[in-house]
Amino acid sequence: MGMSFQAVVCTGICVWFLVTPPAFPQSSPRSQSVPGKQQQIETHSRQAQEYLRQGHADLAVGEFRAILALDPNNVDAHGNLGVTYFFQGDYAKAAPQLRSAVKLRPNLWKIQSLLGISEKRLGQTAGAQVDLEQSFPQLQEEKLRIQAGLELIEIYYAASHLDKAAGVAGILRQLAPTDTGILYTAYRIYSDLAGESMLTMAMLAPKSARMHQIMAQEMARQGNTEGAIAHYREAIKMDPRLPGLRFELAEALNLSTSPADQEQVEKEYQAALSDNPFDEKAECRLGEIALRASELEAALAHYSRAVELQPNDAEACLGVGKTLTQMHRTADAEPYLKRAAQLEPFTAVTHYRLSLVYRAAGRTADAQRELAEFQRLKDMKERLKQVYEEMRLQPVKQERLETEAAK
């Protein structure tokens, strides 16, 4: 597909392989039967490591080759020679040496991953895929695992195996959640996967309720609330019991500026809850509506029910905390707000509400800290809002909720 996900492997990995205690046996059993030969091998090995420490990789290559002349099955020499060639960018020479090491000792995952990367860069895609698939799950070093994962993703992406690429991307996101390269890679894969699924749906069931739901979601994402509502209503006509449909319609209505649409919002959230009594998000939205109307007991009941349904729902915990603070029960609100901050640390209004709680308790330093964090996150969200506006996308619903909550 003409897209590259490659990253640069830090040369420190090369040093790790070559100058730490070897991951390979020093020699084959046959060489151990000849003491003179073994002594020569150990001398060449020490000299090779010294050359590498001095940055003389070419001289180290000569020492590794001397070892292989004495002992062609020396796993250590094959592996280190292959790694040296790899970090010199000579993949054609690296691959045979790395392959020999893996054949002699199949569980050398780091070496096998470098073999897979070398094969990929030589255009040997089939072999690269096998070696990377086998080694990637076993790798422990973060930099190497990220590199191997990105290479494997590129193979999957080129073959249009988006589901497999998405699986690896998910692992890498957990490994390095703030890495912009990985985030971009995941964005491209998930976007293409969504597009592929939408195209397949359009071909198989172009007039189905699900197709209308997809079109509604796309229009909502682009900020076309009116169009989204129309498609949601069409989907409901076709299949009123479709899971999640009522809630999504209510979300779209909640964003509408039409008074008529606003009058339908609460009814649709109630319908969503009727369809699915375990929908904690619908409970949260009903709690929000009650809170805006200053119906504090009703709001607390809805938010508390949401927490009961899903204790790790940050929005539900925040809702309970907000309601309790407005009821002047700040001590009771604190644990819910702290839990919400743990679950979603980048929600600005949570820190604002915590600042109120700490101020009421006379904890001035804590209140100032939380207020500063609120302002920092608020500024960051404003910048994000500008990005959404430039892309003509509907801001994420959490932004709307935070704006309402901060009033």
Q: What is the mean pLDDT of residues 314-322?
A: 97
* CATH match for 12-197 among 1.10.10.10, 3.40.30.10, 1.10.357.10, 1.25.40.10: 1.25.40.10
Fold identical between 12-197 and 205-277?
yes
Reply yes or no on whether the pLDDT at 1 is more than 70: no
Mean pLDDT of the chain: 88
Question: Looking at residue 393, what is its pLDDT?
Answer: 58
pLDDT at 307 over 70: yes
pLDDT digits (tens, 9 = 90+) for 134-151: 999 999 999 999 999 999
Share of the chain above pLDDT 70, in %: 87
* pLDDT, position 406: 47
Quote the CATH superfamily of domain 295-407: Tetratricopeptide repeat domain (1.25.40.10)
What CATH number was assigned to the domain covering residues 205-277? 1.25.40.10
pTM for this model (two decimals): 0.68
Model pLDDT, residue 27: 45
Is it the case that residue 399 has pLDDT exceeding 90? no
| Confidence at residue 104, expressed as pLDDT on a 0 to 100 scale | 95
| Per-residue pLDDT at 396 exceeds 90 | no
Instruction: Give the per-residue pLDDT at 146.
Output: 96
- Give the pLDDT confidence score for residue 3 in this predicted structure: 52
Residue 256 has pLDDT above 50, yes or no: yes
Most confident of 127-136, 192-201, 384-393: 127-136
The pLDDT of residue 222 is: 86
Confidence check: pLDDT of 31 > 50? no
Whether 162 and 191 have beta carbons less than 8 Å apart is answered as: no
The pLDDT value given to residue 385: 76
Q: What is the pLDDT of residues 214-251, one digit of tens each?
A: 999 999 988 899 999 999 999 999 999 899 999 999 99
CB under 8 Å to 246, separation ≥6 — which residues? 236, 268, 269, 271, 272, 275
Mean pLDDT of 276-295: 96
Banded pLDDT at 154 (limits 50, 70, 90)? very high
Q: In terms of C-beta density within 10 A (0-12 exposed, 13-18 middle, 19 or more buried), how is residue 387 classed?
A: exposed
Task: State the pLDDT at residue 207.
Answer: 92
pLDDT at 398 (0 to 100)? 45
- SS3 string, the chain, reads CCCCCCCCCCCHHHHHHHHCCCCCCCCCHHHHCCHHHHHHHHHHHHHHHHHHHHCCHHHHHHHHHHHHHHCCCCHHHHHHHHHHHHHCCCHHHHHHHHHHHHHHCCCCHHHHHHHHHHHHHCCCHHHHHHHHHHHHHHCCCHHHHHHHHHHHHHHHHHCCCHHHHHHHHHHHHHHCCCCHHHHHHHHHHHHHHHHHHHHHHHHHCCCCHHHHHHHHHHHHHCCCHHHHHHHHHHHHHHCCCCCCHHHHHHHHHHHCCCHHHHHHHHHHHHHHHHHCCCCHHHHHHHHHHHHHCCCHHHHHHHHHHHHHHCCCCHHHHHHHHHHHHHCCCHHHHHHHHHHHHHHCCCCHHHHHHHHHHHHHCCCHHHHHHHHHHHHHHHHHHHHHHHHHHHHCCCCCHHHHHHHHHCC
- Tell me which of 11-15, 123-127, 190-194, 295-299 is least confident: 11-15
Q: Where are the domains of the chain?
A: 12-197, 205-277, 295-407
Report the pLDDT averaged over residues 183-206.
93
